[in-house]
Structures are given as C-alpha cells and as structure tokens.
Amino acid sequence: MTSQLHDERILILDFGSQYTQLIARRVREAGVYCEIRPWDATAESLIDFAPQGVILSGGPESVHFDAAPRVTDVVLGMAVPVLGICYGMQALAQQLGGRVEPSSHKEFGYAEVRARGHSRLLTDIDDRVNAEGHGLLDVWMSHGDHVAELPAGFKVIASTPSAPIAGIGDDERGIYGLQFHPEVTHTSQGQRVLERFVRDICGCSGQWTAGNIIDDLITRVRDTVGDEHVLLGLSGGVDSSVVAALLHKAIGDQLTCVFVDNGLLRLNEGNEVMQTFAQHMGIRVIRVDAESRFLDALAGEADPEAKRKIIGRTFIEVFDEQASQIDNVQWLAQGTIYPDVIESAGANTGKAHVIKSHHNVGGLPEHMKLKLLEPLRELFKDEVRRIGLELGLPAEMINRHPFPGPGLGVRILGEVHKPYADLLRQADAIFIEALRAEGWYEKTSQAFAVFLPVKSVGVTGDGRRYEYVIALRAVETVDFMTARWAHLPHTFLDQVSRRIINEIDGISRVVYDISGKPPATIEWE
C-alpha cells in the first residue's frame, strides 16, 4: 500500500461465500480499490489496512453453531460503515443483540424485495414502485436462516413475504445488512446498491480507473526497481503480455523478456509470440528452447501435482540461468493476477483445500535468487484486459483464452511423451480453428483438447485403427472459479470430431467433456 490510489479502500471479509470474489470485482467496478481477507484475519492486519468501509460476505455456516465465524470486534470498533451480506448480516444481527432463526421457507433464487424505511442504502434504488409508493427490487437469495428480531438501533430496510427482515440498517452508525446478494448479476440493481455503499456511505470518490491504475503501476514499478534490471517470463498469454507492455513503458531498456519453449506449447505458439513482441513491439525477447529439458525432467512422472511442481521448478531454473547472463538482473517479473493469489491463499493459510498448485504461485521453489515483481498481483482479469487495451495491445491478444503455464503438460493425462504432445497440438489446433471459424471462440471463455492415453478401436477405410482418444473441453465462465460446459452445437462437434479423426492418424475417437466446475475443474489435471 504505497500509493495515493490506494488511499481509498474497502475491506471485504470472507466468511466462505462462493461469491466473495464477485463482491470485490463489483467494488472495483465502482472505482474503489478493495482487498479480501479471511474473517479471522489478525486485528493488526485489519487496523493496518485502515479501510474506509467493510463488507462482510455470505457464508455456508449457521450463526447457531458453536464454532460459527464471528465478526471481529476490531471491525465494529473501527467506526467506519459496515455492510453485511447474507451470513454477514446474520452474524452482525446476532452479535449486536438481535436474533437469527432457521426458516421454514428456505429461499434460493429469485425474490421480489420491498425496500422500506427510506434507508440511505436503498433510497431511490428500485426496479419498480408499487401502488403504495414502495420501491421493489428483483434480487437473488440463497439462505436457510433469517433475522427474526432486530438489534437495538436498527430498522427494517427491506422485506419479502418469507423474510420480513430481509434488510436492516442503522443510518446513524452506517451499519447495514442485506439478506439478498447485491454482488450477483441476477440482482439487477446490485451494482447500484454496492456503489451507494462504497461511494456515498463510505465516501470513496472512485479513482480506481484503468488510466489511473496504469499511472500508479508505472510509478510504483519505477520506485521499486530503480536502475536494476528485470527479467520477465513472457508466455504470450494475456497477463504476462500486459506486464511486458507495462514494464516496457515504465522501465524501457531495463526489461528483458524470456519466452520459454517448454515443448508443452500450442501449435506455432513460439513463432507467434516472437513475432508480436520482438518484431512489432520492439521489446527485447530471448527465446529459450527447453523442450528436452522439460520432457526429461517429466519423464516417468504420472502424478498431476508432481508434474506441476517439476514444471514450476524447471521454469525457475531456466529463468535463473538466463538472469545470470545479463548484467545487474535482480528481479523476476511474472503475470500473476489476484485470482492466482486468492486461489493459492488456501495453500498458505491451511484453511482451504489445495485443489491444484498453479505453477507460478504454489509451484515456486522455496529459495529463489531473484526478487519477484508482480505488478498485476492486485488485479482481476477484466481489469488486466482493460489495462492491456489502454496500453495499446491488440484486442485479439487481450481476448485470447487463458493458457496455463504447465500447458500441454497438464492436458496429457499421466506421463508426458513428445509423440503425445505432437498429436495433442494437432487436435487442439483443429478445434480452435473451427471455434474461430464458426464464431464460437468469443462465446466461450476457454477451450482446448485433452490427450487421453488410452487406446480404442476404430475402423477407417475398412481397416482397423487402434489408437488414442482426444477429449474436447469448452467452458463458459466469468472468473474461472466456477464454469459451465459450453453447449456447443452437435453439428459443430460432429465436424470437429470428424476432422480430428480423419486428419490425425494417431487418434481413433473423440469425446466431449460435459462436466461443470464444480464438481470438475477446467483443466483435467
């Protein structure tokens, strides 16, 4: 927290909601910087953060459990506005002397809420007005408990037939609670409600815009780096490309990019990256051919987590070697973004399960020679994309689907072999080309082929074929935390399947992955 742009900030305390990240993205969209901390973060860290306001997320627990998460006294003692959402409201209500009960009618999904009592939070925010002049809001609910009795000093600010206390407020102290979720898009006025809270009630002016963020990042990078040299791991993906453009602008010649061809890239990826950056943007990029090094390191390893760790470690070895060949390199820059950090937080605090170690965060070795420079560490993907466009990167680069650093290494199930990677590259290229040609690339968030090392029998031209299987994966998602499998047309899948089997000798069968996240993940390993 070193810059003026961070002077205005909102603290979001996470009580385990599926939507905590959405709250943060919405607050950012309102032009205000915010950070997410666990509900039981230490008092010092919260006081140190010194927010202008606090939002308490929803959560799966019930306030009646003995060990139920609590709103720490520090938050209530800060004398700044507080907004509790769902569990956050229930916890506030109970701790401030109200009562929370299990409902006989659980509410999941759409509800029509009546705004009442002219609170500062909801006044003049409505979807329609009823005959008595009360504002009505279309909202989204997801709860089993409800507030049955108000704490002292509060009034009801919203109600539904099954939850008469669907919102509470104390305008004087600036403490509010909403049983519904303003952060989800199904709550049509949700953005306005959150904006009302962070701008009008907390008094933040909304400086967090792409232009301001860039100026701020440039100043901070210059202050941090001084006259030292920076090595950037450039993958050609959205995040590291934006870092390249940003650092080029901030420190010019003090930047060298290293693009590692680890043998696990998509077809022609290497040439495309070199063309865009080295030729068109005049950025210094070293291409390191490390295919055999990565494949040798992976040889015989079938375990997904072990493979991820090997890949992460080998990346760092390559970066270290390159750094030692350039004068005065002290920094390793990476395109790490906020969701990478949040997802890995579980791994650091031991609170959440480690689902998989993303190579650039959880996969880093303990001892590193270079200091890490991660200018996008506080930003969400949509913010990174906006900044990239503002910095002049081509839209087609900014709108690329993400590609994980371990690449085909986690899309070839089990042991990685070069012939498998070659087959997978061809199948993936056919799939992506077809998606682009049929207008589906933009409509999906991420799509790729997966190599299954099992053989199945086929018949082609009266001959028997006994070859491998390719799975196609395409998902729609906003934040990659949850995803829906893309409902691609059957005719389209048919066309892709036939092309893959006809054009690639080593493949005898194609299947389509119809698993959501959760319960599956986007990548297969």
Ligand X SMILES: NC(=O)CC[C@H](N)C(=O)O
Residues with catalytic function:
86, 181, 183
List the one residue from 406, 432, 470, 485 that touches ligand XMP (CB under 6 A): 406
16 or 270: CB nearest ligand X: 16
To which residue do tokens 């039981």 refer?
40
Candidate segments 35-43, 212-220, 255-263, 455-463, binder of ligand ATP by CB under 6 A: 255-263
Candidate segments 56-64, 217-225, 257-265, 304-312, binder of ligand ATP by CB under 6 A: 257-265
Please state, as a whole number, how many other Cβ atoms lie within 10 Å of the Cβ of residue 491: 8
Choose the contact partner of 165 out of ligand XMP, ligand X, Mg ion, none; CB within 5 to 8 A by kind: none
304 binds ligand ATP (CB under 6 A): no
104 or 491: CB nearest ligand X: 104
Extract the tokens encoding 163.
């939850």
What is the side-by-side order of every strand in the sheet holding 285-289? 285-289, 255-261, 229-233, 329-333, 371-373
Where do the DSSP E strands lie in 185-291? 229-233, 255-261, 285-289
User: What is the 3 state secondary structure string of 413-467?
Assistant: CCCCCHHHHHHHHHHHHHHHHHHHHCCCCCCCCEEEEEEEEEEEEEEECCEEEEE
CB of 122 to ligand XMP, least distance (A): 36
197 binds ligand ATP (CB under 6 A): no
Please state, as a whole number, how many other Cβ atoms lie within 10 Å of the Cβ of residue 98: 20
For residue 458, which amino acid is it?
A: G
CB of 237 to Mg ion, least distance (A): 3
240 or 508: CB nearest ligand ATP: 240
List the one residue from 140, 403, 431, 485 that touches Mg ion (CB under 5 A): 403
Q: Quick one: which of 130, 129, 14 has its CA closest to 72?
A: 14
358 binds ligand XMP (CB under 6 A): yes
Peptide bond before 519: cis, by omega within 30 degrees of 0? yes
Q: Which run of H or E residues covers position 328? A: none
CB of 56 to Mg ion, least distance (A): 34
For residues 349 to 388, the per-residue mask of contacts with ligand ATP, x marking binding by CB under 6 A and - elsewhere, is: -----------x----------------------------
DSSP annotation of 238: H
105 binds ligand X (CB under 6 A): no
Question: CB-based burial of residue 516 (10 Å sphere; 0-12 exposed, 13-18 middle, 19+ buried)?
Answer: middle
360 binds ligand XMP (CB under 6 A): yes
Length of the chain (residues): 525
Residues 417-436 that bind ligand ATP (CB under 6 A): none
Task: Label residues 283-321 b or e (16+ Cβ within 10 Å = b).
Answer: bebbbeebbebbbebbeeeeebeebbbbbbebbbebbbe
CB of 32 to ligand X, least distance (A): 23
In angstroms, the first-to-last Cα distance of the chain is 36
Please state, as a whole number, how many other Cβ atoms lie within 10 Å of the Cβ of residue 20: 23
335 binds ligand ATP (CB under 6 A): yes
Annotated ligand binding at 31? The verdict is no
404 binds ligand XMP (CB under 6 A): yes
Candidate segments 73-81, 136-144, 335-343, 362-370, binder of ligand X by CB under 6 A: 136-144
Which spans of this chain sit near Mg ion (rule: CB under 5 A)? 235, 237, 403
Binding residues for ATP: 235-241
Which spans of this chain sit near ligand X (rule: CB under 6 A)? 17, 58-62, 86-87, 142-145
Which spans of this chain sit near ligand ATP (rule: CB under 6 A)? 233-235, 237-240, 258-260, 262, 334-335, 360, 402-405
